[in-house]
Amino acid sequence: MATPAVADTTVIGRRTTQTGDIVARLITFAFAASIILITFLLVWQLWSQSAPTRHKFGFAFLFTSTWNPVTEEFGALPFVYGTVVTSILALLISVPLGLGSAIFLSELAPAGISNALTFLIELLAAIPSVIYGLLALFTLVPLMRDYGEPFLKSTLGFLPWFKGPVYGLSLLTAGMVLSIMTIPFIISVSREALLAVPREQREAALALGATRWESTWQIVVPYAKLGILGSIFLGLARALGETMAVTMVIGNDPKIKASLFAPGYSIAAVIANEFSEATGKVYQSALIELGIVLFLLTIIINGVARLMIIATTKKGSKR
């Protein structure tokens, strides 16, 4: 009879394969734990290698704007400035464009077209940074230098941001490249957040006589606002860490100037440019300390983003 036989082998089988289970669990556990190990190593490396500058400058490092390898005076401010300004510029362009597109894709476009277009937009996120840099250097920079920036100068030249000589290689150009790189993140995540808004919300608004746009803008978008904010933070985190595209068009000048036409520098760009030639322990550790600053910035912003996105999906699934 089948059952007792099965029961017998099951008993024996379970004993021998219990070791199998334990081994499997141990092996996979080891690999999972190693992820924590790798990250710990990273943080430890950054911390220990930046010791010379941390001891020499302390917190003042974050607020000093000199970057002088000859006299070994280092300060993070010009790079933080450049990183933050280019990222904000990027968001100023990509958020309206991205949110608008997300609204179109979630509310207006039929499902088939929406999926197809979203797929294409997500391909933008797969393009390597160095290729964005290549394109920007040969197409966007001449365009900005010969047409874009002079135009802004002639129309908005009374504002401090649009004064000064026009080089093409500038904070503004870097901001524009970053905006194209952040758009796919904003569109992708915002669209998901908008799609998650329950249908009843839209229908209720329309039933009360709202136009399509009013229903979308005044009801649906606010409902999804956490997810949308999350997408913005995600895009911001990406923009802060971008290296190659930025270093090819930002002009590489560690100065803080009001004008957006001026060349600037970002944290990632200076590490990429100067690390292999940093003579002396202090110079090297200054660059590594900059790495820590960037690391912390991206952790905080990523963390906030994920919290917001989680909160949205939880809210959306509540009916």
Partner 1 sequence: MKLTKMSLALAGLMAVAIPLATAQQINAAGASFPAVIYQKWFEEYRKMHTDVQINYQSIGSGGGIAQLTAGTVDFGASDMPMTDEQISKVTVKPLHFPSVLGGVVPTYNIAGVMQDLKFTPETLSGIFLGAITKWNDPRLAKDNPGVKFPNADIQVVHRSDGSGTTFVWTDYLSKVSPDWKSKVGVGASVNWPVGLGGKGNEGVAGTVKQTPNSIGYVELIYVVQNKMAYGSVKNASGSFVKADFNTVTDAAAAAAKNMPDDFRVSITNAAGKNAYPISSFTWLLIPSHIPDAAKAKTIKAFLQWMLADGQKYAAGLSYASLPKEVIAKEVKQIAKIQ
Partner 2 sequence: MSGNLIWRKSVNAVMLSVTGVFTVLAVSSLFLILGYLVYYGGRSLDWNFFTKLPLPPGEIGGGMANAIVGSLKIVGVAALMGLPFGFLAGIYLSEFEDKMFCPLVRYVADLLNGIPSIVVGLLAWGLVVVPTRSFSGLAGSIALAAMLIPIVTRQTEQFLREVPLSLREAALALGASKWKTIATVVVPAGSKGILTGMILGVARIAGESAPLLFTAFNNQFWGGGITQPTASLPVMIYSHAIAPYEDWHRQAWAAGLVLIGMVLIANIAARLVLARGISVPRA
In the region spanning residues 134 to 193, those forming contacts with partner 1, defined by CB under 8 A, are 141-142, 145, 165, 167-169
Closest residue by Cα to residue 65 from 244, 254, 194:
254
Note whether 245 and 310 are within 8 A (CB).
no
Indicate whether 3 belongs to the interface with partner 2 (CB under 8 A).
Answer: no
Indicate whether 69 belongs to the interface with partner 1 (CB under 8 A).
Answer: yes
Q: Which residue from 165, 213, 280, 314 is in contact with partner 2, where contact means CB under 8 A?
A: 213
Interface residues for partner 1 in 78-117 (CB under 8 A)? none
DSSP H or E stretch at residue 171:
helix 171-195
Which stretch in 12-20, 154-162, 227-235, 274-282 sits in contact with partner 1 by CB under 8 A?
274-282
CA distance 246 to 159: 25
The interface partner of residue 68, options being partner 1, partner 2, none and the CB cut-off 5 to 8 Å by kind, is partner 1
Which stretch in 40-48, 127-135, 155-163, 247-255 sits in contact with partner 1 by CB under 8 A?
247-255
The interface partner of residue 142, options being partner 2, partner 1, none and the CB cut-off 5 to 8 Å by kind, is partner 1
Interface residues for partner 2 in 46-85 (CB under 8 A)? 46, 49
What does each C-alpha distance from 67 to 41, 183, 286, 290 come to in angstroms? 28, 33, 10, 12
Q: Which residue from 9, 10, 68, 211 is in contact with partner 1, where contact means CB under 8 A?
A: 68
Indicate whether 274 belongs to the interface with partner 1 (CB under 8 A).
Answer: yes
Closest residue by Cα to residue 185 from 127, 267, 139, 141:
127
Closest residue by Cα to residue 86 from 156, 187, 170, 159:
170
Note whether 72 and 282 are within 8 A (CB).
yes
In this structure, are strands 67-68 and 73-74 parallel, antiparallel, or unpaired? antiparallel
The interface partner of residue 100, options being partner 1, partner 2, none and the CB cut-off 5 to 8 Å by kind, is partner 2
Q: Which residue from 298, 304, 311, 315 is in contact with partner 2, where contact means CB under 8 A?
A: 298
